[in-house]
Amino acid sequence: MARILLSALVFLSACNCFSQWYVPANYTDAEKPEEISVTPIGGFGLLRKARPGVPAHYHTGIDIKRPGTNYFNEPVFPSYEGIVISVIDDGPFSQVVLKHEYKKKNYWTVYEHIKVKVKEIGKKLTPHDTLGYFFNRSELNRYGWQFDHFHFEVIKKEPVAFIPNNKYPLRRCRTYAITCYTKEQLDERLENPLQFLKGKLYKKNHR
């Protein structure tokens, strides 16, 4: 009987861990969102100036710094358990989008500027799975060191559907990056990740 109770407690504990939000990188001591290091120009809602071919827009996520000096295989993790719904694997703008159900609401998280590992639509992931990696030195030399971070978003309005093609065979949606031209559009479509994660982070962020 004692063994059964112990097994049940272990199972419930594991389930509870997976139902918590995690920092999507190896910030193992982070218990608060503000302990996540963000690049100087990578804050949520910052107004990005217009440039050739791109109008002025608000930054739709946060750009998370590499947590250490691992330039070989620094992992990126899902922030919450979810389903892979879209993948772009084309270099500096590679991207994975996950769909989540949290407290009976749907959310989507975006992980961009990463070396993609998971390339299976419909695959279920937990915060203990590796979905990709920060770019290594060779990739940064090729793409530019401005990509020495990854872009993370929490979306609350369903992304726009995308029809796959030969160039993007695993892409299924468009995020709202570079399309939020007003604060109203930004607030309607996205959450500030640091604000959203407040009070939701699993305090033992170890994987």
* pLDDT of 13 higher than 50: no
CATH homologous superfamily, domain 2-196: Glucose Permease (Domain IIA) (2.70.70.10)
Q: What is the pLDDT of residues 166-179, one digit of tens each?
A: 999 999 999 999 99
* DSSP letter string, 109-173: EEEESSEE----TT-EE-TTS--EE---HHHHHHH-GGGSEEEEEEE-SPPEE----SS-TT--E
pLDDT confidence bin for 18, thresholds 50/70/90: low
Mode of pairing for the β-strands spanning 124-125 and 115-116:
unpaired
pLDDT confidence bin for 204, thresholds 50/70/90: low
Mean pLDDT of 98-110: 98
Mean pLDDT of 61-66: 98
Tell me which residue of 10, 12, 17, 13 sits closest to 2, measured CA to CA: 10
Find the range with the poorest average confidence among 2-11, 62-71, 194-203. Answer: 2-11
Tell me which residue of 123, 122, 102 sits closest to 18, measured CA to CA: 102
Give the containing element (helix H, strand E) for 18. Answer: helix 2-18
What is the separation of C-alpha 160 from the centre of its chain, rounded to a whole number of angstroms?
18
Tell me which residue of 177, 178, 114, 117 sits closest to 149, measured CA to CA: 114
User: What's the predicted TM-score (pTM) here?
Assistant: 0.90
